[in-house]
Amino acid sequence: MSKFQAPKGVSEYFPPNSDQFEYVRDHLLTAAKLAGYSLIELPVFEDTEVFTRGVGESTDVVSKEMYTFEDRGGRSITLRPEGTAGVMRAVIEHNLDRGQLPVKLFYTGPFFRAERPQAGRYRQFYQVGIEAIGYNDPEIDVEVISVADTAFKALGLKQYKLNITSLADAKSRDNHRKDLVKFIAGLKLDEATIERAKLNPLRLFDDKRDEIKNAMSKAPLLLDYLSSESKSHFEEVKRLLSEINIEYTINPRMVRGLDYYTGTTFEFDHALLGAQSGIGGGGRYDGLMTSLGGAEVSGIGFGLGVDRILMACLAEESLPSTINQIQLFVVPITDSGKSVGFKLISQLRDAGISCDLAYGDRGLKGGMKAADKSGARYCLVIGDDEISSGKCELKLMSSGEVISSSLAVSDLISRLGNSK
RNA sequence: GUGGGCGUAGCUCAGCUGGUAGAGCACCCGGUUGUGGUCCGGGAUGUCGCGGGUUCGAGCCCCGUCGCUCACCCCA
């Protein structure tokens, strides 16, 4: 056992499997770019207040899961537990909402929550998120959802499910909350559950215990309290989802852990992930901008869990067997072969062809083994024969088939370039 | 923060009612003075998580401790 270990509960990715992580993240980012979202790169730490005011003091995320510390200037700093609040801080600070709307942004990177780790739940984890700020068109709601859906499909995922609901506007929520609190007061509950309900009565909809589920089956649902405006918005969202063939389940009992959500709210679950099955979620946030000191502008976005989506892809075996395959592996078997090969890979790389060389004087057999392990598409042996004749063979590793070539870089480039 | 399971080779694990540690995979070398994967032969590798206790003797039993893991709460 080595002396040092990574801090508890962090996810780490290293070869040979880190390319799978990269593959998943790239597909999520590609889907965002495909829909016109642009990168926003932000610090992983913020003024603690960005989160206490943005995410909400009463949430678990803020009240017990944040990595908060004092910096050397005595400021309270927090490692970001989620992405949206920081994005809104930057939007306000840099007046990004003063130009043409909507502002469409994507981000990726590590996030931090000080929870007890378990399968699919890490203290440092990775998200890809997008935010569309400026309008509250139902089309934008559906666009955001479809970006996630497109990415999941591109990754070959099938066993995931979209849950949606509407958390409506403040007035609808207040009306519902009053009735819900009244309803809960009539139930026989244990101390801890009563405390939970005080914090947020909606939480009880999420309880996993059967007796609570049964009791809550007759509870008043927010969806029955929607104002006509919220209702027609939600109806339109559902219609648009159907129009672009995105399947969804209306889940009026869905609960989200962040306070800022209003209106359309959604979650993606994966069937094969065990207890932590959420692979992404998001929703609209009407009050967030103003609570952080900005203009009254509506926005919607999502956060996708890269770690969990990778787990889902592995569970469904949806990833390609070779990722980031290099084109050529050069095996030198003499000193002069090594010298020629070394120059060769430099020139090929300049031409944009990925290649590598067998280092370490391991001889032909060792070099071929290295070629095999590298996963390269082709290998090329260079010894004295090749150098004197100027001819060589490109061996297709998968089949053993051999292509004759000259050692001239231009010939190799054209043969390797065409073989993609 | 609460509860369960588990810590033995780089990895996955076996190790009988306590008797001084093993397998498979991976790695290295060779069989094949110039072609990898399969096959065959050979080789290296461990303070059995750590500390204490019981015992003639502990990988195994007891206590403590650290770590990992799964689940609860909650979330990506």
The ipTM estimated for the assembled molecules is 0.86
Q: For A304 and B67, how far is CA from C1' in angstroms?
A: 30
Instruction: Indicate whether A31 belongs to any domain.
Output: yes
On whether both A256 and A338 belong to a single domain, the answer is no
Q: For A4 and B59, how far is CA from C1' in angstroms?
A: 24
DSSP string, A106-166: EEEEEEE-----BTTB-SEEEEEEEEEES---HHHHHHHHHHHHHHHHHTT--SEEEEEEE
On whether both A240 and A147 belong to a single domain, the answer is yes
- CB under 8 Å to A239, separation ≥6 — which residues? none
State residue A63's pLDDT score.
Answer: 82
Contact in structure between A271 and A294 (CB atoms under 8 Å): no
Instruction: Indicate whether A221 belongs to any domain.
Output: no
In single-letter form, the type of residue at position A367 comes to: G
Q: For A374 and B39, how far is CA from C1' in angstroms?
A: 23
Q: For A1 and B53, how far is CA from C1' in angstroms?
A: 25
Read off the pLDDT band of A119 (50, 70, 90). confident
Read off the pLDDT band of A204 (50, 70, 90). confident
Report how many domains make up chain A: 2
CATH number of the domain encompassing residue A338:
3.40.50.800
B9 closest protein residue (CA to C1'): A1
On whether both A292 and A357 belong to a single domain, the answer is no
B30 closest protein residue (CA to C1'): A365
Query: What span, in angstroms and rounded, lies between the C-alpha atoms of A24 and A11?
Result: 15
Task: Kindly give the residue spans of alpha helices, DSSP state H, lying in A186-322.
Answer: 191-199, 210-216, 228-243, 288-291, 306-316
Instruction: Indicate whether A100 belongs to any domain.
Output: yes
- Nearest nt (C1') to A9 (CA)? B68
Query: What span, in angstroms and rounded, lies between the C-alpha atoms of A420 and A411?
Result: 15
Domain boundary among A290, A316, A342: A316
Q: For A273 and B3, how far is CA from C1' in angstroms?
A: 21
On whether both A383 and A257 belong to a single domain, the answer is no
Mean pLDDT in residue range A178-191: 84
On whether both A310 and A359 belong to a single domain, the answer is no
Instruction: Indicate whether A8 belongs to any domain.
Output: no
Instruction: Indicate whether A159 belongs to any domain.
Output: yes
Q: For A9 and B55, how far is CA from C1' in angstroms?
A: 40
Contact in structure between A412 and A405 (CB atoms under 8 Å): yes
On whether both A293 and A347 belong to a single domain, the answer is no
Q: For A5 and B46, how far is CA from C1' in angstroms?
A: 19
Read off the pLDDT band of A3 (50, 70, 90). low
On whether both A391 and A246 belong to a single domain, the answer is no
Instruction: Residue A224: count other Cβ atoms within 10 Å of its Cβ.
Output: 11
On whether both A267 and A400 belong to a single domain, the answer is no
Domain boundary among A316, A338, A371: A316
Q: Is the pLDDT of residue A16 over 90?
A: no
Read off the pLDDT band of A2 (50, 70, 90). very low
> Buried b / exposed e across A314-327, counting CB within 10 Å, b at 16+?
eebebbeeebeeeb
**Strand B contact residues in chain A (185-224), C-beta within 7 Å:** 196, 203, 206-209
Q: Which two tokens stand for residue A54?
A: 């943005």
Identify which has the larger pLDDT, A179 or A5: A179
Instruction: Indicate whether A189 belongs to any domain.
Output: no
On whether both A152 and A119 belong to a single domain, the answer is yes
Instruction: Indicate whether A181 belongs to any domain.
Output: no
Q: Is the pLDDT of residue A377 over 90?
A: yes
A129-175 per-position pLDDT tens digit: 999 999 999 999 999 999 999 999 999 999 999 999 999 988 898 89
Q: Domain range spanning residue A404?
A: 328-418
On whether both A301 and A348 belong to a single domain, the answer is no
A273-330 per-position pLDDT tens digit: 888 899 999 999 998 999 999 999 999 999 999 999 999 999 898 999 889 899 999 9
**What long-range pairs does A74-79 form, CB within 8 A, spacing at least 24?**
A75/A47, A76/A47, A76/A48, A76/A49, A77/A45, A77/A46, A77/A47, A77/A48, A78/A45, A78/A46, A78/A47, A78/A48, A78/A50, A78/A51, A79/A44, A79/A45, A79/A111, A79/A112
Whether the beta carbon of A25 falls within 7 A of nucleic chain B: the reply is no
Instruction: Indicate whether A379 belongs to any domain.
Output: yes
Q: For A68 and B63, how far is CA from C1' in angstroms?
A: 37
- CB under 8 Å to A275, separation ≥6 — which residues? A118, A119, A120
B69 closest protein residue (CA to C1'): A118
CATH number of the domain encompassing residue A111:
3.30.930.10
Domain boundary among A268, A296, A316: A316
**Strand B contact residues in chain A (42-81), C-beta within 7 Å:** 59-61, 65
Q: Is the pLDDT of residue A395 over 90?
A: yes
- Nearest nt (C1') to A200 (CA)? B74
On whether both A45 and A155 belong to a single domain, the answer is yes
Q: For A205 and B13, how far is CA from C1' in angstroms?
A: 43
Peptide bond into A81 cis (omega under 30): no
B34 closest protein residue (CA to C1'): A364
On whether both A244 and A365 belong to a single domain, the answer is no
Whether the beta carbon of A328 falls within 7 A of nucleic chain B: the reply is no
State residue A300's pLDDT score.
Answer: 96
Nucleotides in chain B near protein beta carbons (<7 Å): 1-3, 27-30, 32-37, 47, 49, 67-76
A326-355 per-position pLDDT tens digit: 999 999 999 999 999 999 999 999 999 999
Whether the beta carbon of A346 falls within 7 A of nucleic chain B: the reply is no
- Nearest nt (C1') to A259 (CA)? B75
